[in-house]
């Protein structure tokens, strides 16, 4: 057996840890989003290796079970290849489950990383817009007062660069 192949038990434990991480709902804090992107990159790389190791274990088990089954069938009545494959698949169900799970984790990490990049871009754009609004002087075009349900609301129409913004404030 190869020495750099992670044992099945360790693969299961690591898969549980990655699964727990993937189930956490991220905040909208840009620093946390950036950290999560980095963590997901690590999990993508690790889950790729884990998937290869899980497939190694699955293939090893199928090979062993095939040899055992062929040995038993030589001395008894023969079964069709389809029945033999079904028997081997059922014997290897735990290894196949691990392969499928780790494959899904790898994809989930990849999709989450892309989503985090989008969120980070969104937050950067919001920051850029808010900085642009407060770093240069906007032009107040007009103000309007409106009485609504006994309250006076003041509206400002502000033009800043190429944007027009309507702000409302309540005044007592």
Q: What is the pLDDT along the chain (172 residues), one digit of tens a residue?
A: 456 889 999 999 999 999 999 999 988 888 888 899 889 999 998 999 999 999 999 988 888 887 777 777 766 667 777 877 887 888 888 888 899 999 999 999 999 999 888 888 888 887 777 776 665 555 555 566 665 566 666 665 556 555 555 555 555 4
User: Do residues 126 and 159 share a domain?
Assistant: no
User: Do residues 124 and 140 share a domain?
Assistant: no
Nearest alpha-carbon partner for 141 in 117, 115, 171, 164: 164
User: Do residues 130 and 150 share a domain?
Assistant: no
* pTM of this prediction exceeds 0.85: no
Q: Which residue has the tokens 């309507």?
A: 166
List % helix, strand, coil for the chain (3-state, nearest 5): 65, 15, 15
- 135 with 129: CB under 8 angstroms? no
| The token pair that represents 171 in the structure block | 């005044």
Q: Which residue has the tokens 């090893």?
A: 60
Rounded to an integer, what distance in angstroms lies between the CA atom of residue 168 and that of residue 158?
Answer: 11
Is the residue at 150 inside a domain?
A: yes
User: Do residues 34 and 71 share a domain?
Assistant: yes
Nearest alpha-carbon partner for 146 in 117, 168, 120, 130: 168
What is the greatest pairwise CA distance in the chain? 97
**Domain count of the fold of the chain:** 2
């Amino acid at each position: 057996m190869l020495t750099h192949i992670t044992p099945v038990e360790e693969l299961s434990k690591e898969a549980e840890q990655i699964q727990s991480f993937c189930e956490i709902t991220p905040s909208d804090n840009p620093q946390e989003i950036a950290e999560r992107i980095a963590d997901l990159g690590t999990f993508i790389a690790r889950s790729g290796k884990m998937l290869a190791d899980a497939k190694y274990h699955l293939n090893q088990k199928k090979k062993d079970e095939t040899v055992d089954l062929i040995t038993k069938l030589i001395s008894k009545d023969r079964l069709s290849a389809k029945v033999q494959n079904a028997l081997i698949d059922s014997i290897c169900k735990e290894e196949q489950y691990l392969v499928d799970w780790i494959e899904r984790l790898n994809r989930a990490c990849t999709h989450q990383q892309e989503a985090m990049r989008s969120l980070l871009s969104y937050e950067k754009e919001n920051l850029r817009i808010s900085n642009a609004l407060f770093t240069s002087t906007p032009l107040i075009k007009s103000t309007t007062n409106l009485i609504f349900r006994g309250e006076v609301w003041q509206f400002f129409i502000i033009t800043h660069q190429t944007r027009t913004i309507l702000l409302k404030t309540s005044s007592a």
